[in-house]
Amino acid sequence: MGKVVFNMTMSLDGFVAGPNDGPDNGLGDGGDRLFDWYFSGDTEVPISDGQMVLKVSARSAEILKEAITSSGAGIWGRRTFDIAGAWGGHPPGTPCFIVTHTVPQEWVKDGSPFVFVTDGVESAIRQAKEAAGDKNVAISTPSILQQALKAGLVDEIYIDLVPVLLGDGVRLFDNLETTQFELERIRAIEAPGVTHLGFRVVK
Ligand SMILES: NC(=O)c1ccc[n+]([C@@H]2O[C@H](COP(=O)([O-])OP(=O)(O)OC[C@H]3O[C@@H](n4cnc5c(N)ncnc54)[C@H](OP(=O)(O)O)[C@@H]3O)[C@@H](O)[C@H]2O)c1
């Protein structure tokens, strides 16, 4: 059985997007800085069915390729789905589970890469695990991580830490109230423009 892992790029002060994020301002004010490392190297990593090609350092490419290979399903929240314009129908990981209160009917059709889950994060993780088989389920948005953490369903947290202070925006570890989570560091890899951190959630 694969693991439930989380992976996102975060600023040193804990934001995954700047303020005022939306469809015309995907990563919010100043937030594009978070993704500079995706486009400033010389090693190509195709994603989204080859619709997008990242250009990262050789070290980061190894890490990204390992994450892609080990992932058997992904889970995102509806805000990211909308902000990303449904990735034009080519999400960064398939099958792609979207947690939402309302199903966008235009994406319910033969060949759609999306599975919409309206009965919560635990259900999404259960369905994604079935689809992933021996591979990992990758969670990639803050609200889903927060709920999965509180439900005790996250095995590992991977953060691509970017040396910038955004000051405001979408905070990754929000809404966790006073719950304390013990983590064991399993990775700390320096690469140009980013530090790849990994933690196991101690249960
Ligand atoms: N830095 C990075 O690596 C990175 C990567 C991806 C995204 N981002 C950024 O992350 C931000 C979005 O994160 P977010 O946490 O605000 O939103 P999100 O997780 O993408 O989506 C939240 C939405 O998902 C739906 N949802 C969540 N939990 C639910 C539940 N239990 N039941 C039913 N529906 C549920 C709700 O939408 P409805 O009520 O409308 O259905 C909710 O408003 C954006 O700024 C995006 O650009 C950053």
pTM: 0.97
For residue 133, count CB atoms less than 10 angstroms from its CB and return exposed for 0-12, middle for 13-18, buried for 19 or more: exposed
Mean pLDDT, residues 56-65: 98
Q: Are 42 and 192 in contact (CB under 8 A)?
A: no
Give, as one character, the DSSP assignment of residue 162.
Answer: E
Contacts of 110-116 spanning 24+ positions with Cβ under 8 A: 113/89, 114/81, 114/86
4-17+27-197 topology per CATH: Dihydrofolate Reductase, subunit A (3.40.430)
Residue with tokens 């005022």: 20
Residue 120 Cβ inside 6 Å of ligand 1? The answer reads: yes
Q: What is the mean pLDDT of residues 18-23?
A: 97
Pocket test for ligand 1, best of 60, 78, 171 (most atoms within 8 A of CB): 78
Residue ranges per structural domain of the chain: 4-17+27-197
78 lines ligand 1 (CB under 6 A): yes
- pLDDT (mean) for 137-163: 98
> 115 CB less than 6 Å from ligand 1?
no
DSSP line for 54-95: EEE-HHHHHHHHHHHHHEEEEEEEHHHHHHTGGGGG--SSSS
**91-128: pLDDT as tens digits:** 999 999 999 999 999 999 999 999 999 999 999 999 99
Q: Could you tell me the distance, in angstroms and rounded to a whole number, from the CA of residue 112 to the centre of ligand 1?
A: 20
Average pLDDT over residues 150-156: 97
- Best CA proximity match to 194, nearest among 41, 27, 31, 30: 41
- How many whole angstroms from 172 Cα to the centroid of ligand 1? 11
Q: Which atom of ligand 1 is nearest to the CA of 8?
A: 3
Q: Is 64 left (phi over 0), alpha (psi -120 to 50) or beta?
A: alpha
Once rounded to an integer, what is the mean pLDDT over residues 199-203? 97
